[in-house]
Each structure stands twice: as C-alpha cells, then as structure tokens.
Amino acid sequence: MAALEINNVCKIFGSEQVLRDVSLAIDSGEFLILVGPSGCGKSTLMNAIAGLEPVTSGEIRIAGEEVTWQTPAERDIAMVFQSYALYPSMTVRQNISFGLEMRKVPRAEREAAVERVADLLQISHLLDRKPSQLSGGQRQRVAMGRALAREPKIYLFDEPLSNLDAKLRVDMRTEIKKLHQRLGTTIVYVTHDQIEAMTLADCIAVMRDGRILQLGTPDEVYNDPVDIFVAGFMGSPSMNFIVAILEGGAGDYRLRIATPEEEDLVLPWPAVRETPDMAGQVGREVILGLRPEHIGEEDARLGDRNEGTRITARISVVEPTGADILLQLPLGQGEVTARVGPRCRVLAGERLALRVDMGRAVLFDSETERRLA
Amino acid sequence: MDNVIRRRTVGARIGRAMLYAVLLLAALFYLLPLAVMLITSVKPLAEISPGTLLSLPREPTLAPWAKAWGEACTGMRCEGVGGYFFNSIAIVAPAVAISTVIGALNGYALTKWRFRGSELLFALMLFGCFIPFQVVLLPMAQTLGWLGLSSSRAGLILVHVVFGIAFTTLFFRNFFVAVPTELVSAAKLDGAGFFRIFWRILLPVSTPIIVVSVIWQFTQIWNDFLFGVAFSAHDTQPVTVALNNLVNTSTGVREYNVDMAAAMIAALPTLLVYVLAGKYFVRGLTAGSVKG
C-alpha cells in the first residue's frame, strides 16, 4: 500500500495556479525528493501534504486513508522546517517532547522518547539548553529530533539544510541518509539543491510552474531526462545544449553542428539509440544535450581505440576543481563545458583533442523542448 | 562616542562642553515644574504666599499630603482624594488587564490565523486609534444606559477596554507579525490548537510587548479625565476627576500645598510604572526590528 498518494491535486491562489494536476505515490520507507527552482510549487505541495494549506481540488491519502480535509494534527506527520522553528521559550527537552505531550503520551514514555532521539542524534548534552544557546548545526539536529520523537507515518523535510554552511551541509546530508537507511522511515524532502536530490532520494519529482515534469529514480532523472528543463536542472555544471541539424535517416542519423570560422562538425548518432520520433525531424534544428563528463580528453596511448567521436577545440578557460578540471571551449554557436581528469596539462588558448561520448548524449525537439532520443 | 573618528582638538572639546551645557539646561527647565510641585507640596501654607516659588521649605511637612489624601474637600464632601485613588485602581486594573488580553488574542489571530478580510479588519480597527474621545461621548452614554451600566465602575471599565483594544491590537499585531509563522505551523503539526499555541508558544516570548501594552494602557486610563467626568457618579469617580474638584473647590484660602500634594498623588502611579518598567517599554517598542 502506498504510504502517500497524491491524486490530481490543484491549488489556486487568487488568479495564480500554484499546483496543476499533481499526482504521485510513494511506498512505505521511500525517500521522495521534490526539487525545482523557487516558485515551482514544491513548498506549496509540501504544505498541502502537511495540511497547513488547503488544496483547491484533488485528493491526498496517507497510508490509504484520505486526509485531504484533515487538520495537520490528525494526519500524524512530522515536519522539519527550514528555519527549524524551535520553540524559543522551551528547552531542547521540552521542544522534543511537546508533540508527545500534546498527544497525551504519559510522562515516562515521553522521557524515554527524548532519550532515544537524543542518543540517536547525539544531542544528549544539549537537552537542558534553550534554542538560542545552540549553534546552527545543533538546532538542525534538535529540529530532526522533534520530528523523530513522535514516530509519525511520514516525515516532511522543508529545505532542512539550506541554512547550514557548506561543510556542515554535506555532513548532515550523509547523516540524514544514514538515519533513513537505519530507521526505514517514509520521507518527503523539499530542496532546490539538485545534489541533495541526487544523493538522498529513492525517487525524485522535478517540478516547475506547479507541475511535476518528471518522477523517477535519481538515475532516470539524471540520465534519461524528459525535457530540456529537467536535463539542465539536474547536474552541476549543467548539461551543454548545442543547436544541431539532424541529417541522414534511420540507421545513419548524423548531427551537423555549424561552428563559426571552422568546418562544420558532424557527429554520428548511435544506431542503438534511435527512436521513431527522430524521423520527423530530419533536416530540422534539434538540440543536442551533452553532459560535461560526456566530453573527455583523448588518451594518447589508446589512439584509435578511444571511445567516442574525436573533436579538437581551442580551450578558452581552464577551471581546476581539484578532483577534476572543467574546460570551456567553443562548440557550435556557444561555449560548452567539458570535464577532464586532474592530470590534464592544458592551458587556456591551447588546442586540445577531445572525445564526445555520443552513447550517452540526449536529443531534444528545439520547439517543444521535449526529448526526442 | 559618536562613532566618527576624528582628532580631538581643543575646539572640538569646547564644542562638546557647550553641547552638554545646553542639554543640561534644557533638562533642568523640563524638570522645573515637577520640582516646584514637590517643593510646594511639603511647605506649610505660611511659607507659600510670601516666598518665591523655588525657595526650599524651611520647615518641611507632610501635612499637605495627609490633608490631600484624607481631608481635603472635593466639592461637597471633604474626604480627600484617597478614596478616589482606589476608585482609579479598581477601574484601571481590570481595564488594563482585559484590553491587553483581548489585544493579544486579536494580534495573534490577525497574524497567525489569517482569514479572508483580516487585513481589512485590522485597518478598520486602526481607525479606533484616531477617533477623538469627544465624538463618542453621547453614543457611549446612550449605550451604557441601555446596558444598565451608567455611572458605574463596570461602565467605565467597558469604555476604556473598548477604546484600548485598538491600541493593544496594534501593539500585539505588529509584534506577532515578526514572530516566524513556522513556529505556529510546527505547533499545529505537534497537535496544539488555537489557545494552546497562544499560551505555550507565543505568550512566553511576548513579555516586551505585554509590558508596552500595560504601561500604555495604564497611563492612558489612569490619566483619563473626560470619560471619568462624563460617565461616573460621585462615588465611582477616578482620582483625576477628584483632583479637578479639589482644585476647583473655592471655599476659604486656596491651599496650594494641598493642591500640589493631591496632583502628585494622582500622578505618582504612572511615574512609578514608567520608572519600574520603562526600559522594557523602549525595548518592546523596538522589538522585532533587530530580532535575529
């Protein structure tokens, strides 16, 4: 049975449609991430699940039971807020046990629950402090502790890490993942950070303008995006989009990329990745999507045994990140980013031979921006 | 001191000294009436008529205070202002408490449980802050009559509560607007209801604004004369009305020392409240602006 089911939910604020026919379902123990740019409706959807905002139409079910018109308290969910929302006048202990107290859990059980989550999150030494005496990371832990104490049906996380500094954010991300693996809880997590989405999720819903564009595993969303928006949103640095003309025919499709002041570049499309949709686009402009890691340096020792199609280009910018090096090079009408190994000794202004891995490239319709192949 | 870095030249020092001198003079000038009142109130009557206003008492006495409290004539009766002082307390205490509680609930509902038209309702309530008292005297008298509260303490309390709500609502609304709404959302998810959230989450952080509301309402209601004189009978008059009657009772010699003592008695509570809680007042008025 689905732990959470959302059917055709719409939400209208005045004249603005914030959620448009949103449907999704997750199983018990799944980690769902709602991701998208600000204003895409992900926080509204989360508030609708929490019961903090009513929906205009549609239905929300938790553990099979319809909760669309239930109050937040009746839904048996817990939420971790972006600002943590710790009760300022209460100690950490009172913060964690408040929800249990409201649900009339006996004192002894409340104390046991506080001990349990304090152990789990290593905040036992902070229990008698007020939130104002805690650091950002500690407040974050307390906010999670408050949610964990109640053992609700679903946990909601609303951008819980965005107020932490970069290093702490990565640590807490790992910790949340560990907690999820250990406790097997059902989590809905909102973020605008696509790395958080990729690393944490079992299932990602990419949202834009109140719609779910794609719902899938991190692997599907990353490698098999449904349109240009999803492809560009997931991944950092983001996917390169190159305008090309589709030529040839079934079994022999080619992409011709016009490059100013140089000969046109022609990239063959692998036959195994052909789709019926491509036939209608022959002779027309299409958009080729290549992730930076799909453009790599040529290994001189391998020679012809290098995979992919060979191109050479004058490198305009070299950006070492430590783990690898990002290169900017002109390709087609604009510049693209390539990701090469940290040992690549290229300088800005030099020409470099690169290999394009067309086996993982994607193709989009230039008008509808939908995926072609 | 002034957060500007500059070399301290002789000229700058002289300028600063002059600045302080002017400020000191201005402060003394403003304190003068209070000083005259205090000095006069402890002088025997014999020292007042020939002496200058500012001369210190040669034989200080508390007799004028005692007379003002217990014997001075206010109109027909000669029982001092003491009884009326307690009348004022009996009116002010419930009126302050009730208007503060209602203002707090209003501010809470208007910010954390918004509903269609709540902003409009707040804007309309704000009008209440700008309505001159004189305008409502007649309708209010009519209303009190209908309610059977004419000339009673309860009637005066009601009037002050009704007038106070506009201000207390404004105070609490502006304070609660700065309290993150996520706190309320978290409490809702934790299972707390309207009053529980108010009592357990918001009220414990509201001390500064409660102090502001109490000081403001206390001062307003204690110092009120117009409603007091219009809506009270002889035995429910507040101290301000009694003071007026005392000063205007024209039989025999005018006892300035008793007048001054009575005025001090009538003014002391508000002074006391400000001295005790003044720093919270300033803090409360600026709360929210610097909240982290």
Q: What ipTM was predicted for this assembly? A: 0.85
Distance CA B152, CA B236 (A): 6
| C-beta atoms of B188 and A82 within 8 A | no
Q: Is B191 on the interface with A (CB under 8 A)?
A: yes
Distance CA B106, CA B101 (A): 9
Instruction: Provide the CATH number for the domain around residue B96.
Output: 1.10.3720.10
Asked whether the predicted pLDDT for residue B156 surpasses 90, the reply is yes
Q: Is A94 on the interface with B (CB under 8 A)?
A: no
Residue of B nearest to A102 (CA): B191
| C-beta atoms of B196 and A83 within 8 A | no
B140-145 mean pLDDT: 94
Which pLDDT band, with edges at 50, 70 and 90, does B1 fall under? Answer: low
Look at residue B120 in the predicted model and tell me its pLDDT: 94
Q: Is A53 on the interface with B (CB under 8 A)?
A: no
Which pLDDT band, with edges at 50, 70 and 90, does B284 fall under? Answer: low
Chains A–B, number of C-beta pairs less than 8 Å apart: 59
B4 in a domain, yes or no?
no
Chain B residues in contact with A79 (beta carbon < 8 A): 185-186, 189
A52: amino acid identity, one letter: L
Asked whether the predicted pLDDT for residue B287 surpasses 60, the reply is no
Asked whether the predicted pLDDT for residue B172 surpasses 90, the reply is yes
* Chain B: closest CA distance from residue A189 (Å): 16
Domain that holds residue B177: 82-286
- B124 or B283: which carries more pLDDT confidence? B124
Same-domain pairing of B18 and B101: no
Same-domain pairing of B30 and B165: no
With b for 16 or more beta-carbon neighbours within 10 A and e for fewer, the A244-257 pattern comes to bbbebeeeebebeb
B92 in a domain, yes or no?
yes
| C-beta atoms of B201 and A89 within 8 A | yes
B73 in a domain, yes or no?
no
Asked whether the predicted pLDDT for residue B280 surpasses 60, the reply is yes
Chain B residues in contact with A44 (beta carbon < 8 A): none
Residue B208 · residue B284 · CB < 8 Å: yes
Domains of chain B: total:
2
B74 in a domain, yes or no?
no
* Chain A: closest CA distance from residue B189 (Å): 5
Same-domain pairing of B52 and B111: no
Residue of A nearest to B184 (CA): A85
B2 in a domain, yes or no?
no
Per-residue pLDDT of chain A (373 residues; tens, 9 = 90+): 789 999 999 999 888 999 999 999 999 999 999 999 998 999 999 999 999 999 999 999 999 999 999 999 999 999 999 999 999 999 999 999 999 999 999 999 999 999 999 999 999 999 999 999 999 999 999 999 999 998 899 999 999 998 889 898 999 999 999 999 999 999 999 999 989 999 999 999 999 999 999 999 999 999 999 999 999 999 989 999 999 999 988 888 999 998 877 788 899 999 888 999 898 899 999 999 999 999 988 877 777 777 788 888 899 999 999 999 999 999 888 899 999 999 888 899 999 999 999 989 999 999 999 999 8
pLDDT in tens, A163-203: 889 898 999 999 999 999 999 999 999 999 989 999 999 99
- B248 or A116: which carries more pLDDT confidence? A116
Distance (Å) of CA A147 to CA A89, A95, A133, A261: 18, 10, 20, 60
Cα-Cα end-to-end distance for chain A: 34
Q: Is B201 on the interface with A (CB under 8 A)?
A: yes
Which pLDDT band, with edges at 50, 70 and 90, does B195 fall under? Answer: very high
| C-beta atoms of A99 and B205 within 8 A | no
Q: Out of A299-308, B116-125, B199-208, which region has the weakest mean confidence (pLDDT)?
A: A299-308
Look at residue B78 in the predicted model and tell me its pLDDT: 82
Same-domain pairing of B219 and B191: yes
Look at residue B291 in the predicted model and tell me its pLDDT: 40
B-interface mutation test, from A67, A79, A134, A135, most B Cβ less than 10 A away: A79
Same-domain pairing of B39 and B89: no
Same-domain pairing of B188 and B53: no
Q: Is B192 on the interface with A (CB under 8 A)?
A: yes
Same-domain pairing of B130 and B272: yes
B249-263 mean pLDDT: 84
Asked whether the predicted pLDDT for residue B50 surpasses 90, the reply is no
Residue of B nearest to A73 (CA): B191
- Picking from B180, B185, B191, the nearest residue to A99 by CB comes out as B191
Which pLDDT band, with edges at 50, 70 and 90, does B289 fall under? Answer: very low
For chain B, give the DSSP string: --S------HHHHHHHHHHHHHHHHHHHHHHHHHHHHHHHHTS-HHHHTTS-TTSPPSS--SHHHHHHHHT--BTTB-S-SHHHHHHHHHHHHHHHHHHHHHHHHHHHHHHHS--TTHHHHHHHHHHGGG--HHHHHHHHHHHHHHHT-TTSHHHHHHHHHHHHHHHHHHHHHHHHTTS-HHHHHHHHHHT--HHHHIIIIIGGG-HHHHHHHHHHHHHHHHH--HHHHHH--GGG--HHHHHHHHHH--SSS--HHHHHHHHHHHHHHHHHHHHHHHHHHHHHHHTTTS--
* Chain A: closest CA distance from residue B110 (Å): 17
Q: Is B114 on the interface with A (CB under 8 A)?
A: no
Same-domain pairing of B254 and B111: yes
Look at residue B285 in the predicted model and tell me its pLDDT: 63
B5 in a domain, yes or no?
no
Look at residue B288 in the predicted model and tell me its pLDDT: 46
- Picking from B185, B191, B200, the nearest residue to A52 by CB comes out as B185
B234 in a domain, yes or no?
yes
Query: What number does CATH give the domain A240-365?
Result: 2.40.50.140
Look at residue B97 in the predicted model and tell me its pLDDT: 97
Look at residue B286 in the predicted model and tell me its pLDDT: 62
Query: What number does CATH give the domain A2-233?
Result: 3.40.50.300
What percentage of chain B has pLDDT greater than the value 70?
95
B69-73 mean pLDDT: 86
Same-domain pairing of B153 and B51: no
B70 in a domain, yes or no?
no
Asked whether the predicted pLDDT for residue B47 surpasses 80, the reply is yes
Q: Inter-axis angle of helices B181-190 and B82-112, to 10 degrees?
A: 80
Residue A60 · residue A67 · CB < 8 Å: yes
Chain B residues in contact with A103 (beta carbon < 8 A): 191
Question: What residue ranges do the domains of chain A occupy?
Answer: 2-233, 240-365
A-interface mutation test, from B119, B181, B183, B189, most A Cβ less than 10 A away: B189
Q: Which of B67, B95, B84, B44 is nearest to B243 (CA)?
A: B84
- Picking from B188, B191, B193, the nearest residue to A103 by CB comes out as B191
